[in-house]
Amino acid sequence: MNWAKSIRQLHRWLSIAFTGGVITYMAVMGGGQQPAAWVGLLALVPLILLLASGLYLFALPYVGRGRADVQRVSG
């Protein structure tokens, strides 16, 4: 199983969930009432997961390059 491909797909779906959460929050705020706390969490939870998966995907090429250098030297 290719973890990088799975994480990338999860990252894409999380971005859709985050966008939906922000749109929902804006719609509730536009109604002129104070939203419940859980409405804010609709955007916050996917954002935290987006941060984690994005940092993983950002570091992936650098970690892969380091492993290739070690294999080249030891091989």
Shortest CA distance to 53 belongs to which of 21, 10, 22?
10
Q: Is the whole model's pTM more than 0.85, yes or no?
A: no
Mean pLDDT of 53-72: 78
Residue 23 lies in a domain: no
Could you count the other beta carbons within 10 Å of the beta carbon of residue 21? 19
For residue 59, pLDDT over 60 is answered with yes
User: For residues 28 and 50, what is the distance between their CA atoms, to the nearest angstrom?
Assistant: 23
For residue 55, pLDDT over 90 is answered with yes
Where in the sequence is the domain holding 46, given as residue range(s)? 33-62
Q: Of residues 37 and 74, which shows the higher confidence score?
A: 37
Q: Total domain count for the chain? A: 1
- Residues 13/66, Cβ–Cβ less than 8 Å: no
Alpha helices in 1-75 (DSSP H): 3-30, 37-74
pLDDT value of residue 74: 56
Residue 5 lies in a domain: no
Rounded to the nearest 5 degrees, what angle is found at the Cα of 65, between the Cα atoms of 64 and 68?
90
Residue 54 lies in a domain: yes
> pLDDT tens digits for 13-23?
999 999 999 99
